[in-house]
């Protein structure tokens, strides 16, 4: 009776261990499949991200190259203009038609409003436009 009990006990232990091993293998297989599935998704997302980065970098680089070409053209034009500039020195002489020796308006005393009117009249006389 004890031998049959021990045999049944060992049989039950073997069945439980076999079931546990089977469940562990199934769980390990599922986890491996999930890990490889997510790894593939992350790799494809990483590839898409790298592709977008490369596209942005190529657009940025082409824009920089276009600006460099424009700057090169402008620099050449500027250098050509610098070479065309000729400096000419002349003596400037002013001849006065009339020399004023008698200052008439030295003792003129105006307040602020009068000076403002006089200044506007001077500007109008110089620009030939009304104030």
Q: Is there a domain that residue 11 lies in?
A: yes
Q: Is there a domain that residue 96 lies in?
A: no
The predicted-structure confidence for 59-103, as pLDDT tens digits, reads as follows 999 999 999 999 999 999 988 888 887 766 676 666 656 655 655
pTM (predicted TM-score): 0.38
Q: Is there a domain that residue 74 lies in?
A: yes
Q: For the chain, how many structural domains are there in total?
A: 1
Is pLDDT at 51 greater than 90 in this prediction?
A: yes
Q: Is there a domain that residue 95 lies in?
A: no
CA distance linking residue 47 with residue 39, whole number of Å:
12
Domain span including residue 62: 2-85+102-127
């Amino acid at each position: 009776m004890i031998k049959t009990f021990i045999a049944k006990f060992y049989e039950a232990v073997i069945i439980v261990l076999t079931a546990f091993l089977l469940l562990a293998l199934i769980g390990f297989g599922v986890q491996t499949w999930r890990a490889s599935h997510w790894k593939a998704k992350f790799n494809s997302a990483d590839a898409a991200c790298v592709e977008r980065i490369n596209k942005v970098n190529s657009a940025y680089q082409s824009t920089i190259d276009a600006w460099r070409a424009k700057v090169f053209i402008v620099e050449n034009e500027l250098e050509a203009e610098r070479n065309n500039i000729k400096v000419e020195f002349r003596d400037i002489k002013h001849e006065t038609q009339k020399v004023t020796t008698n200052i008439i308006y030295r003792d003129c005393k105006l307040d602020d409003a009068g000076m403002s009117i006089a200044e506007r009249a001077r500007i109008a006389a110089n620009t030939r436009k009304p104030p």
